[in-house]
Amino acid sequence: MTVRSLLLVAGMLVPLPTATAAAATATAPALSAAKPRAAVAAPEVSDAWIAEAPPGARHNAAYLILRNGSRADTLLAVESPVAEVAELHAMQIAGGLLRMRRETSLALPPGARVQLAPGGRHIMLINMKRSLPLGEKVPLRLRFRRAGVISVEAEVRPLPVDVGDDHAAHHHGH
């Protein structure tokens, strides 16, 4: 039976990678080489979503997939009208504890694919202005060094959780 752990982050449950080996690699960039697409220079954003949060949660997380085109670029900032601040964060294991750390940018080599996903790199939405109902489409603006601003809508979805019979909830101050 698969056992998944949960991380309690400011009132939000975030599933951790399934196996401890996966958790140990959560800090490694989720980059994979892909063949550059002909004549596509700008990054593409797909599968953008925001985790459903408990009522009154002050923070939340957004996830998506970035596929870069034929030239290097860098994600510099993210913003959304539903939060006071949006930051790029990564999970890392330090001293046996899973911690979140802010990243100031995300380099995208030519042809790279980067997945922002629960338990790994994500967009932290800080000081939510309101609760988000399931199914709502939330605007996200991603600012890239070369491509400029790319706007997407992230759908609010239930957080996928497969905890089996045993699970551990971890508290994490931010």
Give per-residue pLDDT as tens, 56-92: 899 999 999 999 999 999 999 999 999 999 999 999 8
Q: Is the pTM of this model over 0.75?
A: no
Token pair 């045993």 in the structure block, residue: 166
The whole-number pLDDT of residue 86 equals: 97
Mean pLDDT score across all residues of the chain = 78
Straight-line distance from the first to the last Cα atom of the chain, in angstroms, rounded to the nearest whole number: 32
| Residue 160 pLDDT class (50, 70, 90 cuts) | confident
Please indicate whether residue 74 or residue 13 has the higher confidence score (pLDDT): 74
Q: Which of 94, 160, 156, 91 is nearest to 128 (CA)?
A: 156
The whole-number pLDDT of residue 39 equals: 54
The whole-number pLDDT of residue 162 equals: 56
| Residue 171 pLDDT class (50, 70, 90 cuts) | very low
| Residue 133 pLDDT class (50, 70, 90 cuts) | very high
